[in-house]
Amino acid sequence: METKQATAEQQFIIDRIYVKDISFESPNSPAIFVRKWDSKIDLNLTTNTNILGENQYEVELKITIEAKDKDNNTSFLVEVIQAGIFMIKGYPKEPLDHLLGSFCPNTLFPYAREVIASLVSKGTFPELHLSPINFDSLYAQRKKTDANTNNS
* Among candidate residues 112, 134, 127, the one with its CA nearest the CA of residue 41: 127
Average pLDDT of every residue of the chain: 91
pLDDT in tens, 45-93: 999 999 999 999 999 999 999 999 988 999 999 999 999 999 999 999 9
**pLDDT of the residue at 105:** 98
For residues 99 and 87, is the Cβ–Cβ distance under 8 A? no
pTM more than 0.75:
yes
Does the domain formed by 11-151 have CATH 3.40.190.10? no
What is the pLDDT confidence band of residue 147, given thresholds at 50, 70 and 90?
confident
Domain ranges, ordered by start, for the chain: 11-151
